[in-house]
Amino acid sequence: MIIKRCASDQAALSKWNVIAVRSTEDAPVGLTELRRSQNMRRMQTTTGLLSGRNGIVFGVANKRSIAWAIAQAWHEAGARLAFTYQGERLKENVEELVGTFGEGVPLYPCDVTRDEDIARVFENVARDFGRLDILLHSVAFAPREALEGRFLDTTREAFRIAHDVSAYSLVALARAAAPLMINGGSIIAMTYYGAVKVVPHYNVMGVAKAALEASVRYLAYDLGPQKIRVNAISAGPVNTLAARGIAGFTTILKHYEERTPLRRNIEPRELGLAGLFLASDMSSATTGQVLYVDCGYEIMGM
Ligand code: NAP
């Protein structure tokens, strides 16, 4: 790569050590073009990794959702996707987003605490796709009052709800999806470090994530003989709707930026790439694992 000065983007580029870069045709290009070519390169590398695969994504609420970042990576890699939404409140949002993937993307209602909703979703998947290859579980909920104050004060009901929505739902979805994964498959759940260490205010959600991570391991064991892999991604903090429900979330973001080995927070597209790795044959011998995508925070002792 040849570094060369280019007047047009000089102001924007002055923050960078690279002033301009020559493309392979030797023409000088600016920052915007450089970024575009990086994206193109990423797309070229991932294109086809999931071609011919059918997937379903649970947990898109809006464009900031982690599920949306992973869905975009799966879509770019060639997967055919279906989506679910929890209630009418979110339908329009999700409809608009999935519309960017083209016409006719299946979209089904599903509250993961309702067995009848789950059964209907997979009947629809069987009708629309026939076969299923990949599933993303990116769903969690705990009553707001349980995500502030002391864990000690968690009510029986808040404990039940958090575990039902955030952990048991993975078991229910995996059981319903498995018969459609006739060529094997990959199931991916989203978790957080609060499952293994105390993160103030994460409280009952940390306990539910511990149940989720243990469920990943037991499901991986049960479904392994069917060539279905089950893994979780433990993400560093991302500013989403669910995250904003945790008291002091902005402090957590700042803390990570200062303390991770990479001295920054993660970007949603990096979760997309990790999701792509776990969904594709690149991880064909990996199951029952929790993959940390957190700029290295998990290795720190102090
Ligand atoms: P998000 O955009 O708010 O996504 C959470 C999703 O869960 C929403 O679509 C939400 O729908 C859905 N949901 C809640 N209750 C449900 C139910 N009963 N049935 C069906 N769907 C339900 O937030 P996110 O941060 O992307 O969260 C996705 C996953 O990543 C969660 O498992 C979360 O714990 C995990 N995670 C997040 C972070 C972070 O910092 N953001 C870090 C590590 C792990 P409604 O909006 O309708 O409730």
Q: How far is ligand 1, taken at its centre, from the CA of residue 12, in Å?
A: 36
* Residue from 56, 60, 66 whose mutation best tests the ligand 1 pocket (most atoms within 8 A of CB): 66
- Domains contained in the chain, CATH given: 1-27+40-45 (no CATH), 50-299 (3.40.50.720)
Please report the pLDDT score of residue 10 as a whole number. Answer: 38
Please report the pLDDT score of residue 207 as a whole number. Answer: 98
Whether the CB-CB separation of 74 and 81 falls below 8 Å is answered with yes
* Residue from 63, 120, 138 whose mutation best tests the ligand 1 pocket (most atoms within 8 A of CB): 138
Q: How far is ligand 1, taken at its centre, from the CA of residue 208, in Å?
A: 13
* Residue from 141, 202, 249, 260 whose mutation best tests the ligand 1 pocket (most atoms within 8 A of CB): 141
| Ligand 1 atom closest to the CA of 68, numbered from 1 | 26
The answer to whether the CB of 172 is under 6 A from ligand 1 is no
Please report the pLDDT score of residue 245 as a whole number. Answer: 85
Between the alpha carbon of residue 290 and those of residues 22, 117, 191, 209, 227, the distances in Å are 40, 28, 8, 11, 18
The answer to whether the CB of 90 is under 6 A from ligand 1 is yes
Whether the CB-CB separation of 49 and 76 falls below 8 Å is answered with no
3-state secondary structure of 161: helix
Query: Catalytic site residues?
Result: 192, 202
Comparing CA positions, the residue from 201, 214, 200, 209 lying closest to residue 235 is 209
Please state the pTM of the whole predicted model: 0.88
- Render each residue's pLDDT in the chain as its tens digit; 302 residues: 333 333 333 333 333 333 333 333 334 455 556 555 665 555 556 779 999 999 999 999 999 999 999 999 999 999 999 999 998 888 999 999 999 999 999 999 999 999 999 999 999 999 999 999 999 999 999 999 999 999 999 999 999 999 999 999 999 999 999 999 999 999 999 999 999 999 999 999 999 999 999 999 999 999 999 999 999 999 999 999 999 888 889 999 999 999 999 999 999 999 999 999 999 999 999 999 999 999 999 999 99
Return the ∠ at Cα 269 (arms to 264 and 275), rounded to 5°: 115
Q: How far is ligand 1, taken at its centre, from the CA of residue 150, in Å?
A: 22
Please report the pLDDT score of residue 204 as a whole number. Answer: 98
Q: How far is ligand 1, taken at its centre, from the CA of residue 291, in Å?
A: 18
Please report the pLDDT score of residue 157 as a whole number. Answer: 98
